[in-house]
A and B are shown apart, each in its own frame.
Chain A
Amino acid sequence: MTIISLSAFDLAMAAGLIILLAVISLVMRLGLEKQLLLAGLRTTVQLLLIGLILKALFAAADAGWIALMALAMLVAAGREVSARQQRRFSGWWRMGIGTVAMLISSYTVTIFALVMVIGADPWYRPQYAVPLLGMLLGNTMNGIAIGLDRLTSAAVDQRAVIEARLALGQPWRQAVEDVSRASIRSGLIPIINSMMVAGLVSLPGMMTGQILGGNPPMEAVKYQILIMFLIAGGTGLGTMAAVWIGSRRLFDNRQRLRIDRLESR
């Protein structure tokens, strides 16, 4: 089976849909036309740029450049996690907690998959390493952002309970355990749900992409199962790490609840 290559004209026809929407928005006075066009433009430019970068990266297959790319992806994901928090830790911790948690989880799981499961040669081969890491970061980011957001807002809402438990002589970990547990659970529910409905409600994007790209469906399915498990593992570990570090940071060395370490926006 050969891949049908898309020409610029093909993409322009698809872009016609965006322009159609913009015109409708103008007529109906939805006020969305500027945003629609900007979003369409950004999608095009950003994806073309990343395409060029990946092309160069695949050609070079140089470990240093791949490491740099991986670092840039990590920093972008770390910023995104902190941007999604209603109440954030102040100072270095604002980005630090999410970034460290993703470093621990996404990187470990990606390296595990590359070395133990896929067995690419060399193990950092960019065709496998970059998309895998990207998918893991993108998904663990969601779990970590939800878990941390839940943790910090619950710490504020349940301050009286946590402090009553501390006042009765419970160690910080016990005083905050209900809150931590609920936060981890809420971070994990989205990935569990998407595993539940995978293939029933929607065909996952990566699998669809592989099939469109000309791969046999069973190969695409096997990769999709692999990805789902990796994402679940990465999200679980990452959310647990983030909530654990965050919970610890809510207390000082005298085990006092320090809501003043959070800033709301």
Chain B
Amino acid sequence: MIRLRLEKLKIPLLEPVDLDVAAGQWIGLQGPSGSGKTMLLRAVADLDPHGGRVLLDGTSCDQIQPPLWRRQVSYLAAESAWWFDRVGPHLEEVPADWLESLGFGSEVMEWSVRRLSSGERQRLALLRMLANRPKVLLLDEPTANLDRASMETVEELLAGYGRRSKPAVIWVSHDPGQLERVCEHIYTIADGRLV
């Protein structure tokens, strides 16, 4: 089943992109810095203006209210952003057993965001996104700033969600080894084209 379809998606720097990603399919995306990987993901999440069409399960993006679209087609940045002082209010929709499975007790809700390590921040940001039960994950170097152990935890967390919910995934990374480990197909952006 085709979950995510890009039809002549037009963004700056890239020739129009056609791409199908099936439910449960993991697509890797690599290319030099500034080649348009982030812009592509942001356009799919409808965070930036773009030409062409993006379809989720056959329904075009412009027929779905933006908040609903972004809950289903979720973008995760390399650097997470937080707006309350404490962790708790950000994670109200996250089930408690998810936190436990990552080794967080309920006291994490009382923690100040500032005292989180970068690994903790990224894991919690991921949980915050997964609580929406997205059908498409757009991961923009999700482990770029993490040490080896944190990276493995994040990969396991995503793999677990993948087994349960069969999302379509586009994973951008600078680490070819990681993409080979987690993705079935790897595309490279070169000279403004997806190959």
Q: Counting CB contacts under 8 A, is A171 at the interface?
A: yes
Interface string of A170-211 (1 = CB under 8 A from B): 111000001000000000000000000000000000000000
Is the pair B81, A160 in contact by a Cβ cutoff of 8 Å? yes
CB contact between A256 and one of B46, B68, B74, B83 (< 8 Å): that residue? B46
Is the pair A168, B132 in contact by a Cβ cutoff of 8 Å? yes
Interchain nearest-CB distance for B163 vs A (Å): 23
Is the pair B132, A160 in contact by a Cβ cutoff of 8 Å? no
Give how many A-B residue pairs fall within 8 Å (CB-CB).
57
Is the pair B129, A168 in contact by a Cβ cutoff of 8 Å? yes
Q: Which residues of B contact A61 (CB under 8 A)?
A: none
Q: Counting CB contacts under 8 A, is B79 at the interface?
A: yes
| Size class of the contact patch on chain B | 20 to 34
Interface string of B48-65 (1 = CB under 8 A from A): 110000000000001000
User: Whole-angstrom distance between the alpha carbons of A167 and B72 in the complex?
Assistant: 10
- Which residue of A163, A165, A170, A171 has the most chain B CB atoms within 10 A of its CB atom? A163
Interchain nearest-CB distance for A200 vs B (Å): 36
Q: Which residues of B contact A168 (CB under 8 A)?
A: 70-71, 74, 128-129, 132
Residue of A nearest to B77 (CB): A164
Residues in B lying within 8 Å of A, measured CB to CB: 45-49, 62, 66-68, 70-71, 74-77, 79-83, 128-129, 132
List 21 A-B residue pairs with CB atoms under 8 Å apart, sorted by A's residue number. A161-B82, A163-B47, A163-B77, A164-B81, A164-B83, A166-B67, A166-B70, A167-B45, A167-B70, A167-B75, A167-B76, A168-B71, A168-B128, A171-B66, A172-B66, A178-B83, A254-B46, A254-B49, A255-B67, A256-B46, A256-B49
Residues in A lying within 8 Å of B, measured CB to CB: 160-161, 163-172, 178, 252, 254-257
